Structure 1
Amino acid sequence: MKWLILFGLIAAAVLLASQMARAGELPQVGEAAPDFNLPDQEGKSRQLRDFAGKWLVLYFYPKDDTPGCTQEACAFRDDLSRLEKLGARVVGVSVDDGASHAGFSAKYHLPFPLLADVSGAVAERYGALTDLRVFRFAKRYTFLIDPQGRIAKVYRKVETSKHSAEIISDLQQSILKGQE
């Protein structure tokens, strides 16, 4: 009986690990950013090419209106003018639907698009999807995409309270390097 229980636990662990690994591979620095076409919180379709010629902060987050996700979104909101002065746009993505995004955006006065990746397909292309079959969410990953549409930096370890400032610093360094 103990062997049967042990086998069941091992099988469950293997299944869980395989489901978590279902996310696609992370795009690498220098590669073209995977394209997307998703509705925002107002129902407007947004595509990667809409941001061509600008830096794009494409951040994936697990769930609207949760503490970490709220802190991260509000920091981007509060720093948006500094980011825009550096030529950057901010776009959030989660697997929540447009109605959830609309409520979250209105509640916290978020002045940037939140994209509804309900199927998780875009998060998967960016290697940011955790799919446990009964529960699916985007990992807290951010991609800094350069004005030519290439991945400039990948952030896999995000501290929500400092992330926006970290991106501002990285943008300032990238812009200085480009001027040399």
Structure 2
Amino acid sequence: MRLLSLVFGLLLSVNVMAAEWVGSPAPAFALPDQNGKIHRLADYKGKWLVLYFYPKNHTGGCTEEAKRFRDQFTTYKQRGIAIAGVSVDSVESHKKFSDDLKLPFTLLSDSGKVLSKQLGVLNGFGPMSFTSRETFLIDPQGNIVYHYDSVSPHKHATQVLEDVARLSKS
């Protein structure tokens, strides 16, 4: 029972850490994509950025979520919204995942776990680390305007499009 309370407390504190980012500038990052090219937050200035974290390449929910973003990519692009998937998988793993699914958007490798720790989405221990399925919506000025801490791989891509449309009108 004591262990269960400790685990629950840790999970709750991680969720609170992630929520505190909303309304704040997104953390600067410099991460390689599936081709080894470094991407920085500054590269996305002037665009909406969907920074979506997912646990592991080539797994059921992660594959479904990536496909949904892929299938709506044209709409995202037309609306000036960039998509970047992030996990702690390697550049090589991202390359294979991207090629297998024919993904037209960026996958960032946070193998050093820096950004995942900063945003409070890192789970597991040591080599068994993975990110939660969470998304941060970053506005064109570089501020986090929404944090999705509960994501349905089947509905998320559509939900984000609707939220950007709503926030753009505000």
TM-score, normalised relative to structure 2: 0.91
Question: Alignment identity in percent?
Answer: 40
Q: Which residue is equivalent to 1:3?
A: none
Is contact 2:21–2:119 with CA below 8 Å preserved after alignment? no
Is contact 1:40–1:116 with CA below 8 Å preserved after alignment? yes
Q: Where do 5+ consecutive residues of structure 2 fail to align?
A: none
Displacement of 1:133 after TM fit? 2.9
Distance in structure 1 (CA, Å) of the matches to 2:168 and 2:109: 30
The verdict on how the C-alpha distance between 1:21 and 1:172 changes in structure 2, with shifts beyond 3 A counting, is closer
Q: Which residue is equivalent to 1:4?
A: none
Q: Where do 5+ consecutive residues of structure 1 fail to align?
A: 1-8
Given candidates 97, 101, 104, the residue that maps to 1:104 is 97
Q: CA RMSD in A?
A: 2.0
Residue 45 (str. 1) matches residue 43 (str. 2)? no
- The structure whose Rg is larger is 1
Is contact 1:37–1:46 with CA below 8 Å preserved after alignment? yes
Residue 79 (str. 1) matches residue 86 (str. 2)? no
Q: What is the aligned residue count? A: 168
Is contact 2:48–2:137 with CA below 8 Å preserved after alignment? yes
Whichever residue aligns with residue 121 of structure 1, its letter is V
Distance in structure 2 (CA, Å) of the matches to 1:122 and 1:68: 22
Equivalent position SS for 1:152: strand
Distance in structure 1 (CA, Å) of the matches to 2:11 and 2:110: 18
Residue 169 (str. 1) matches residue 162 (str. 2)? yes
The verdict on how the C-alpha distance between 1:54 and 1:126 changes in structure 2, with shifts beyond 3 A counting, is same
